[in-house]
Homo-oligomer: A and B are copies of this chain.
């Protein structure tokens, strides 16, 4: 029950990040809603396409659709306020990332994927929606550029896969994995951590 509520919170946070980006790109109201849906449901759809779940669960659950579309509309109408709430959106986004990565990894393991494949599928679940958002808006995906987003996702996925390997109970392991992701993301945002960039040298512009 708590999990279902948290999941909808994550959906709303992802939808808000897509809608804010769409408003800034000057899309019309329907473009904003389409981008909110794509960002919120894209990772889950990619997961189910990779694992062969047809039709994707993210399209079948009407609660997801309703929450994502409503969030898109609210952002469209009240975007100056939402932009001011940037910190709250980043926090909710971290929660969404944590839940999506651990749930994606656990689903892949349950459907028989080996541990490393399950980690990749879990990371795709958490990261895919944001990557689609950035590709559609013609940006290099943020996840490739910033604040150890992918690393946090990897850590959480590894926690879940390792817990499964040790046959630990699934629910607490998912909780620990999610907490690790949220903690790493908030630390990275707070300390402005970024991963190293390659040394400049012959062949690079600068």
Contacts and interface: CB of A to CB of B under 8 A. Distances in A.
A34 B150 contact: yes
A176 interface: no
A108 interface: yes
A168 interface: no
A28 B197 contact: yes
Range for the number of chain A residues in contact with chain B: 35 or more
This protein's copies in its complex? 3
Contact of A198 (B37, B54, B79, B114): B79
A57 to B, nearest CB: 10
A139 B146 CA distance: 20
A140 B21 CA distance: 12
Given A52-B52, A140-B137, A198 B32 contact: yes
A67 interface: no
Contacts of A55: 50-52, 108, 111, 113, 117, 121
Contact of A56 (B34, B50, B144, B151): B50
A199 to B, nearest CB: 8
B45 A197 contact: no
Interface string A191-206: 0001111110111110
Given A55-B121, A195-B28, A79 B201 contact: yes
Contacts of A62: 114, 116
A114 B62 CA distance: 9
Interface string A124-142: 0000000100011111110
Q: Which 8 pairs show the lowest CB-CB distances between chains A and B?
A: A52-B54, A31-B144, A83-B203, A28-B195, A80-B201, A59-B117, A23-B198, A55-B113
